[in-house]
Amino acid sequence: MTGMEQALSALKQYFGYDAFRPGQASLVQAILEGRDCLGVMPTGAGKSICYQIPAIVSKGLTVVISPLVSLMRDQVDSLEEAGIHAGFVNSTQSADEQALTLAQARQGEYKLLYVAPERLETPRFVTFAQQVNIELLAIDEAHCVSQWGQDFRPAYLGIGDFIDQLSHRPKVAAFTATATEHVRRDIVAMLRLRDPYLAVTGFDRPNLFFDVVKLETRDKNRWVCKYIQDHKSESGIVYCATRKETEELCEMLNRHGITACNYHGGLAPLQRDKAQDQFVNDDVQVVVATNAFGMGIDKSNVRFVIHHNMPESIEAYYQEAGRAGRDGENARCTLLWNESDIVTRRRLLDMDSGNDRLTTQQSELVKASHRQLLQTMIGYCRTTSCLHEYMLHYFGQDLGQASLGLSPAVPNEDMVCDSNDGGEEVSKSCKTCSNCLSTFATIDVSRMARTISRCVHDVHQAFGAGKIVQILLGSQSKDILDRHLDKCPSYGALQGEHAARVRDVLNQMAADGYLTITEGRLPLVQFGPKAAQTVRGDFHYEIKQVQRKRLTVTDRGAKSDLT
Ligand code: ADP
């Protein structure tokens, strides 16, 4: 039998599955051929199989590095149930238990051994690792190695040194659901992957209808209530940003005759379990929750996920929204947002005191990365293009090699990309997102765009969007006069226009690269890479605006009549 035939037979024998999912086969094959790998797949896509199958069909030991100590026992139990010998060593065990597990692993009793990254720093484990034949080192949640990631964990930085101490270098397979260029580059560089095979797959969820609705804060609850009343037979999740919001909204839904429970980290464990059971068993139609809800919850018939506020990143959004339609049937993911969500998110980022295990420099990098993640989330809310495409583009599934963003300075730039594995592609009009179903009016805003650009020049790129709009509209506010901004050549150049329109155009120019908005506590409007085009005589600029007519999506049984 070839390696892949063995792999398929193990998939059937131990897991009962007939076929690999997109991306899995090529990753398994690459590992069996002895290559390092980087697998980028969303949560739930099946990353574990990618290293468990090679572990089963290989002779030596597979060490799995996982940050989630609390899940190790469950993972090992389910492998043992399937007839695969596995163990774990972590801080929940006594010293004797740890020693026993290592002794058993040394005698070849396990196919897989799970450890947390901190374990690799202990002399006892290093000695163990030098004595056994580690064939594969699988690194779960590999983005934790990156200071640009959401979940930087300093111990991941020691993995490269750990590998260097081994007399025989194992194959190294890293897995993550995080997609940003910085993070991928860090994974390759910090884990010292050699000529890694890259697979980016499984991000497209064609059965999900994505919908973005811009709404004033005061209208959000009413919108949610009406949506749920119109979909009485459907189970759904509403995500809110704060505990208080979940309580208020839940109460309102109950008052309107909707069976809903709420869930957040402030509830006692018993209350949380109760809420979860009620939702999973369909005793309530809706759970109103913070992002504490969802991990490990397996409910396949969730028909809608509504976000009451803008999440902090596309990754977070995709993971939460992705809890809809697990059964493959159609489901709807709606994101309600407005400009004040952005202000709130930025404030939360600034207030975040960070992780006290990080140095000041590391904390700054983490913050900068969070700002960048938020910026991409804002882009999702503002885009008038296909929402599926935006997401696939973000996760790099449609980009292949380019998505790695590997500059020649980084080793392994000749990574192979398998982005088309599974043949997932989104057509020009996907028909499963609100943008592709909306009609847009195209408005010529060339003059306005040119004027905005001139104002940014006049003020030496030293002011934020609010001030620029005030200057252009000719505001008489005290601050403008005190700073003599009324002397600026473009002062009042857009007098009579609506502030909201000027802001929209400015934001769109930033999204399109004519301007950039700097990150930081006081974001400044500066020139973007395409800024020079705005002074050209033939400069033409249009923006699309969704027609404020009622949008009805009958084929999904979902009406969004408050757009
Ligand atoms: P991830 O680690 O990517 O979040 P998991 O490895 O936990 O995902 O897998 C998610 C679920 O998908 C598990 O229940 C797993 O058994 C299932 N699964 C994985 N691969 C396959 C497959 N080839 N066919 C069917 N189900 C699969």
Q: What is the pLDDT of residues 397-445, one digit of tens each?
A: 764 433 343 322 222 322 333 333 333 444 456 889 999 988 777 789 9
pLDDT band at 355 (very low <50, low <70, confident <90, very high): low
- 84: DSSP letter: -
Cβ atoms 336, 308 nearer than 8 A: yes
Q: Is the pLDDT of residue 484 over 90?
A: yes
* Token reading at 211: 């919908």
Where residue 139 falls (left for φ over 0; alpha for ψ -120 to 50; beta otherwise) is beta
- How far apart are the CA of 46 and the centre of ligand 1, in A? 3
What is the structure's pLDDT at 371?
A: 82
Best CA proximity match to 137, nearest among 157, 118, 111, 163: 163
Q: Going by CA atoms, what residue is nearest to atom 26 of ligand 1?
A: 17
The best mutation among 12, 13, 17 to test binding of ligand 1, ranked by most ligand atoms within 8 Å of the C-beta, falls on 17
Q: Going by CA atoms, what residue is nearest to atom 15 of ligand 1?
A: 46
The radius of gyration computed from the CA coordinates of the chain, to the nearest angstrom, equals: 26
Q: Going by CA atoms, what residue is nearest to atom 2 of ligand 1?
A: 47
Q: Is the pLDDT of residue 551 over 50?
A: no
The best mutation among 20, 21, 327 to test binding of ligand 1, ranked by most ligand atoms within 8 Å of the C-beta, falls on 21
- How far apart are the CA of 175 and the centre of ligand 1, in A? 13
Distance CA 136, CA 134 (A): 6
What is the structure's pLDDT at 360?
A: 79
Q: Going by CA atoms, what residue is nearest to atom 16 of ligand 1?
A: 46
Question: Which one is predicted more confidently, 367 or 31?
Answer: 31
Point out the ligand 1 atom lying closest to the alpha carbon of residue 17: 24
pLDDT in tens, 179-217: 777 788 899 999 999 999 999 888 888 999 999 999 989
- How far apart are the CA of 28 and the centre of ligand 1, in A? 14
- How far apart are the CA of 79 and the centre of ligand 1, in A? 13
Q: Cα 419–425–426 angle (5° rounding)?
A: 140
Interval 384-400 mean pLDDT: 79
The best mutation among 24, 29, 47, 49 to test binding of ligand 1, ranked by most ligand atoms within 8 Å of the C-beta, falls on 49
- Spatial neighbors of 158 by CB under 8 A, at least 6 apart, are 117, 120, 121
Token pair 């392994």 in the structure block, residue: 412
pLDDT band at 358 (very low <50, low <70, confident <90, very high): confident
pLDDT in tens, 218-250: 999 999 999 999 999 999 999 999 999 999 999
Dihedrals phi, psi of 270, to nearest 5 degrees: -65, -40
What is the structure's pLDDT at 269?
A: 92
pLDDT band at 546 (very low <50, low <70, confident <90, very high): low
- Interhelix angle 3-10/47-57, rounded to 10 degrees, is 120
Q: Going by CA atoms, what residue is nearest to atom 13 of ligand 1?
A: 46
Distance CA 515, CA 455 (A): 12
Distance CA 154, CA 189 (A): 15
- How far apart are the CA of 45 and the centre of ligand 1, in A? 6
**pTM above the 0.90 mark?**
no
- 224: DSSP letter: H
pLDDT band at 44 (very low <50, low <70, confident <90, very high): confident
* Token reading at 500: 């909201």
Give the whole-number percent of the chain exceeding pLDDT 70: 89
Q: Is the pLDDT of residue 126 over 80?
A: yes
CB atoms within 10 A of CB 7: 22
Give the whole-number percent of the chain exceeding pLDDT 90: 63
pLDDT band at 463 (very low <50, low <70, confident <90, very high): very high
Query: What is the rounded average pLDDT for all residues in the chain?
Result: 87
What is the structure's pLDDT at 89?
A: 95
Q: Going by CA atoms, what residue is nearest to atom 19 of ligand 1?
A: 46
What is the structure's pLDDT at 423?
A: 38
Interval 447-474 mean pLDDT: 96
Cβ atoms 329, 300 nearer than 8 A: no
pLDDT band at 563 (very low <50, low <70, confident <90, very high): very low
Interval 508-527 mean pLDDT: 83
Question: Which one is predicted more confidently, 518 or 528?
Answer: 528
Instruction: Return the sign of the alpha-carbon dihedral for residues 243, 245, 248, 252.
Output: negative
- How far apart are the CA of 531 and the centre of ligand 1, in A? 46
Strand order in the sheet with 171-176: 86-89, 112-115, 61-65, 134-139, 171-176, 37-40, 197-200, 416-417
Point out the ligand 1 atom lying closest to the alpha carbon of residue 202: 3
- 172: DSSP letter: E
Point out the ligand 1 atom lying closest to the alpha carbon of residue 21: 23
Interval 137-158 mean pLDDT: 88
* Token reading at 392: 């696939």
What is the structure's pLDDT at 382?
A: 85
- How far apart are the CA of 114 and the centre of ligand 1, in A? 18
- How far apart are the CA of 29 and the centre of ligand 1, in A? 17
What is the structure's pLDDT at 523?
A: 82
- How far apart are the CA of 414 and the centre of ligand 1, in A? 29
* ipTM of the complex in this document: 0.98
Q: Going by CA atoms, what residue is nearest to atom 9 of ligand 1?
A: 46
pLDDT in tens, 252-288: 999 999 999 999 999 999 999 999 999 999 999 999 9
- How far apart are the CA of 43 and the centre of ligand 1, in A? 9
- How far apart are the CA of 425 and the centre of ligand 1, in A? 21
Burial 523-554 (b: 16+ CB within 10 A, else e): bbbbbbeebebbeeeeeebebbbbeeeebebe
Interval 522-540 mean pLDDT: 91
What DSSP element (H or E) covers 419?
none
pLDDT band at 42 (very low <50, low <70, confident <90, very high): confident
Interval 13-21 mean pLDDT: 95
β-bridge pairing 558-560 and 551-553: antiparallel
What is the structure's pLDDT at 352?
A: 72
Taking CB atoms and a 6 Å cutoff, what residues make up the pocket around ligand 1?
A: 17, 20-21, 24, 41, 43-49
What is the structure's pLDDT at 398?
A: 62
What is the structure's pLDDT at 534?
A: 94
The best mutation among 38, 48, 112, 298 to test binding of ligand 1, ranked by most ligand atoms within 8 Å of the C-beta, falls on 48
Q: Is the pLDDT of residue 138 over 70?
A: yes
What is the structure's pLDDT at 413?
A: 28
